Structure 1
Amino acid sequence: MSFSIKDYDLRNTFSIEKSLLLFAGFYPRRDTKNSSLHTFSALMHLCFAYTQLLSMIIQLIIDKNDVSKLSETLLFFMTHVTFLYKLTNFIYHRNNLLDIEDSLTLPIFYGFPFDRLGQLKSEIESCKTIGKIFRITCVVALALYGLVPYLDKGKSMTLPLPGWIPYNVRKCYYPTYMFQMISVCITAYVNSTIDILTWMLITVASAEFEILKGNLEKIDYRSNGVKEHSKIIENNFNKCVKHHKAVVNFVYKIEYTFSDGIFLQFFSSVIVICVTGFLMIIVPIPSMQFGFLAMYFLCMMCQVAMYCWYGHIVMTTSDNIGHSFYMSNWYESDITIRKNLSIFLEKTKKPVTLTAGKFITLSLTTFTRILRSSYSYFAVLQHLYDNS
């Protein structure tokens, strides 16, 4: 017995992320109902974000000769720029999300035994758990971030975010504080939601590759010269070929939609991880600011690591599809089927990869390179600080 979209709809895997982005006004709607409210919500979020960006740019110019202050401002500036670029890229490719949703309704993604459904659910639930943990770390980081001005000595009446304010902050401290915290919360929840949405879609692709591998292994290629058996074998194999093509196209749609945003995320992560590590060594350890920096460092590491991890899984699962033939009795197949097998094997020789900016492969190797680069810049920054 096989499952269908009525038993399990793959589009529900990212229903939470879709709802959050719809509330923010950034996820595309299929209907025009409440479209004005949808647009207003998006404009309000963008207004908060770009106002804070302008404030940081001016502050960077003011602090250009102070390494410690410049580092702190640069930390939040790079995070904010990355978020805005990812969001702009998301808005630009937003209609592709509807196409991705439609792809997940294709019958080729369903129609497999229920034991495969358990495997699919297991991988998706694992990704959801990772997403929840990531959200919790973001919330804890935000909480610590907001408490720094109240609990750290020397930080009283200071603002959470570095930035130029065109008026006396002490006279309007609490409204300014609330404005900055709202801006940070918007950045955190939209940014993390886009990340988790991407991870969910990649997980669906890798799970479908795993299902395809199992289906290829279980095909009985022995026909014993009976035409009816040969026809059944050919139909089962052709179904696997179509399934492979559909999953590959699905991966390419994900890459086309999110690739540019992931590229800037990787680039800025090198700087942010470096600067965060640097600030952790110059900030007193028994302080709220150190706790925030440690939690923020964990968030950034998790964010980059998950992109690389899920991209690596897609690469390895797609690369192992050709090996699945050797787990079956393909050698007992007819000559005609063997020719089709040879053509399909040639297609599966090159693994399916997700890239950032079309040339950086999402893999664990890339993650180690990011960490090495961050450490190199960290050493340079520490040297400059010691000399100054």
Structure 2
Amino acid sequence: MTEVFRHSTFISQEIIRLSIIGFYPNNIKWKFLTYLWMVIIYLITAAQMWTVTALTIHSVDLTVISEIFLFSMTQISFINKLISFHMKLKNAAKLERMLSRNVFTQVSLTELAVMKQQFKKCQRVLNIFIVLCFGVVLFYAVFPAIDQGQPGQKNYPFPGEFPFNPDDYYMWVYCGQILTVASSAWTNSAIDCLFQKHVTMATVFFQILCGRFRNVMDKLDENNEEILRRIKKCVIYYNATIEYVSMIQNTFSYGILIQFLCSVIIICLTVFQLSLVVDYNSTKFVLMIIYLLCMMFQVSLYCWYGHILMEKSNEITAACYAINWNDLDLVNQKLLITIMERAKRPVELNALGVFKLNLSTMVTILRTSYSYFAVLQQIYKK
């Protein structure tokens, strides 16, 4: 007995979040306003980066420069990811259409239960990430008001070089900086969550495929024609899943590459700020802790879900071998051998061929960040 399951419901939250700001290709009402908001996001992000990086011209203080580069790397990563996703909007629509194929929507009750269980696990993990993003925005909004500086001095979420006196427009500048962080967190987390959910669905497809291979001879002892029909259906499912993963790779790989390169510097500078610059009793220290957790969690999501996808695709060979293949005719045995040979090469996601999305890459990022931190620490002490 089979059921029809709409996989697009799993990514509906991310579609809504990206549609509101014009970064998803669907026919929604008030499209002009969404495009206007999209342009505003680009403008305020570029303006905020300009005001912050302009400080490097007049500053020789390593602590100030590290704080500037910390914010700059975050925004560079965000803008590149945003532009990359914007250029691949048609691919995002193709991914959604792929999920509506009959090969994916027709599932058994057992497979449906497996899917719902994995989707719930993924959503719980992503909820933690969303809470961390919200915490970063919240603390960026409140720490300048709590951590008072010198008497009469007005604090801002970020340092900046303005062509005017920002104290004359304090509330406008303050709200503008918070709006930059909020829009970045909203869009960035939505793109991240959309990617993780697509990868989770691909992982579940491989898990379902393994179960179908193991059950290819279920209630069929000598009917080789029916077994051949089942194996061919598995091959169609396998090819559709590989095509789906390839589209995920094509849509998100450039943004992931920039994210990983910037994350190395961001984690390094955040640890530097925590260990040597920020006062332990300040609100900013709590902010930097949450920010560090958020960045490490973000990188971990990419590497962890990419690693699980690779492992599940690697189980196809064992699933084929688990069949009583010696009871099959020669045609079915040759077909199984062909599938097993193809499955020897696991399906892997990578960042434009530079980084593979697995746990080894996660360790490499953390190790490189620590190496940079050690060098920066020595420079600071001298």
Query: Could you tell me the TM-score, scaled by structure 2's length?
Result: 0.96
Match of 1:121 among 100, 113, 116: 116
Q: SS of 1:130's equivalent?
A: helix
Whole-Å separation in 2 of the counterparts to 1:347 and 1:214:
18
Mapping 1:1-388, distance limit 5 Å: 1-4=1-4, 8-29=5-26, 31=27, 33-63=29-59, 65-154=60-149, 157-220=154-217, 229-282=223-276, 283-387=278-382
Contact 2:25–2:93 at 8 Å: present in 1 too? Answer: yes
1:373–1:20 CA distance, 2 compared to 1 (3 A):
same
Q: Deviations over 1:108-148 (max 9, x none)?
A: 11323211111111111111111111111111121112222
Quote the offset at 1:75 in angstroms: 0.5
One-letter amino acid of the counterpart of residue 236, structure 1: R
Whole-Å separation in 1 of the counterparts to 2:119 and 2:220:
37
Contact 1:209–1:247 at 8 Å: present in 2 too? Answer: yes
- Fraction of identical pairs, as percent: 34
Quote the offset at 1:358 in angstroms: 2.3
Contact 2:6–2:105 at 8 Å: present in 1 too? Answer: no
Structure 1 residues 253-262 or 47-56, which shifts more? 47-56
1:290–1:123 CA distance, 2 compared to 1 (3 A):
same
Q: SS of 1:112's equivalent?
A: strand
Quote the offset at 1:323 in angstroms: 0.6
Structure 1 residues 121-130 or 193-202, which shifts more? 121-130
Q: SS of 1:27's equivalent?
A: coil
Whole-Å separation in 2 of the counterparts to 1:162 and 1:337:
68
Whole-Å separation in 1 of the counterparts to 2:80 and 2:268:
20
Query: Could you tell me the TM-score, scaled by structure 1's length?
Result: 0.95
Q: 5+ unaligned residues in a row in structure 2: which ranges?
A: none
Whole-Å separation in 1 of the counterparts to 2:44 and 2:127:
26
Instruction: Count the aligned residue pairs.
Output: 379
Q: Deviations over 1:240-285 (max 9, x none)?
A: 1110110111001000000000000000000000000000012111
Contact 1:209–1:317 at 8 Å: present in 2 too? Answer: yes
Whole-Å separation in 2 of the counterparts to 1:209 and 1:199:
15
Q: 5+ unaligned residues in a row in structure 1: which ranges?
A: none
Quote the offset at 1:3 in angstroms: 1.4
Q: Deviations over 1:349-374 (max 9, x none)?
A: 10000001223100000000000000
Quote the offset at 1:44 in angstroms: 1.5
Whole-Å separation in 2 of the counterparts to 1:56 and 1:170:
16
Structure 1 residues 85-94 or 102-111, which shifts more? 102-111
Quote the offset at 1:38 in angstroms: 2.5
One-letter amino acid of the counterpart of residue 49, structure 1: T
Whole-Å separation in 2 of the counterparts to 1:147 and 1:39:
30
Whole-Å separation in 1 of the counterparts to 2:344 and 2:218:
21
Q: Deviations over 1:216-247 (max 9, x none)?
A: 0111189665xxx2111011100111101101
Q: Deviations over 1:52-91 (max 9, x none)?
A: 122223123332x210000001101000010000000000
